[in-house]
Amino acid sequence: MNVEALNGRLLFAIPKKGRLHERCLQLLAGADIQFRRSDRLDVCLVMNHPITLVFLPASDIPSFVGNGNVDLGITGHDVILEAKMQDKVTEIERLAFGKCALQVQVPERGPVKTVEDLAGKRVVTSFEVLAGEYFARADDRLALVGEQRTKIQYIGGSVEAACALGLADGIVDLVESGDTMRAAGLHAIATVMNTEAVLIKSNTPSRADHSPLINLIASRIAGVVAAGKYVVCSYNISREALPRAVLITPGRRAPTVSPLENTDWVDVSAMVVKKESARVMDELVEIGAKDILIYSLNNCRV
């Protein structure tokens, strides 16, 4: 890769592996950001925009973006706070994937039942900053000082094994389905924070002004995210029941209502949150709607 080739290009950091990688590639495809990544190469030119993609570990992306080495990035909200970069980056868009919770976990069959029981003991985590802040508050509440305070130890992975190995009395780690936690004989006793993947930009871009391109990419990505969250619901309803129907499907701005030829019925279509579409259909049936159809969206701009 020729360094010259990077000049003037927007640098966009993408997680190179892990839980966020595959979903990021889908998002780039949906936003029509085209590239060919040769084997193992972590820097790659986008063919149809003046953008260079940089593939990095998710936890390194906040500081690259925050320090202005990279203009734009996708990573977890959790690792932005862990890297203390929340004042150096702007979260442009929540991406609705990579959702999980950072939780305090202890052995299911053990003496520790609460955060207060665990305070002062040994906690192992990959999130030493967030866990440190959380337990510092607990220690302060309990007026623990010096050696009495919670001992936070960092390990890079497989944190869930720490209690069984005798390294820790509790851990702070991410939980999505809870399968990892349960398999390790642990259960959660508190939530430090909830997280999801976010699109971020640097507050101190160190190179050319890429604002128009950043806005274009952000708008395309927002469209792909919205298309995954909404469906279009269309149905026929009598004019008399229309006011009730509009309450059920208010749309994002307002529903589209078109008259049906030679009847006192109308055809209504509106965007509906995907997760709520079954309930919405039930309610429409109840007020006499007919021919209720749900369409999924490939892409949209809202």
Ligand X SMILES: O=P(O)(O)OC[C@H]1O[C@H](OP(=O)(O)OP(=O)(O)O)[C@H](O)[C@@H]1O
Ligand Y SMILES: Nc1ncnc2c1ncn2[C@@H]1O[C@H](COP(=O)(O)OP(=O)(O)OP(=O)(O)O)[C@@H](O)[C@H]1O
Binding of ligand Y by 160 (CB under 6 A): no
Kindly determine how many residues on this chain lie close enough to bind ligand Y according to the rule CB under 6 A: 15
Task: Please say which residue, 48 or 177, places its beta carbon nearer to ligand X.
Answer: 177
98 with 195: CB under 8 angstroms? yes
For residue 71 the two structure tokens come to 């203009």
Tell me the per-residue interface mask from 165 to 184 with ligand X, x by CB under 6 A, - otherwise: --------xxxxxxxxx---
Choice from 19, 37, 121, 187 touching ligand Y (CB under 6 A): 19
Q: Where are the alpha helices (DSSP H) in the chain?
A: 21-30, 61-66, 77-82, 115-118, 128-141, 179-183, 211-229, 242-248, 277-286
Among the listed ranges 76-84, 198-206, 226-234, 278-286, the one in contact with ligand Y (CB under 6 A) is: 76-84
Which of positions 130-159 make contact with ligand X (CB under 6 A)?
A: 157-158
Element (H, E) at 194: strand 186-195
Tell me the per-residue interface mask from 181 to 220 with ligand X, x by CB under 6 A, - otherwise: x---------------------------------------
Binding of ligand Y by 93 (CB under 6 A): no
Element (H, E) at 273: strand 265-273
- What separation in angstroms does the CA of 286 have from each of 236, 267, 290? 13, 17, 10
Binding of ligand Y by 62 (CB under 6 A): no
Q: Which of 250, 230, 239 is nearest to 287 (CA)?
A: 239
Q: Where does this chain bind ligand Y (CB under 6 A)? A: 17-20, 57-58, 76, 78-79, 98-100, 174, 176, 195
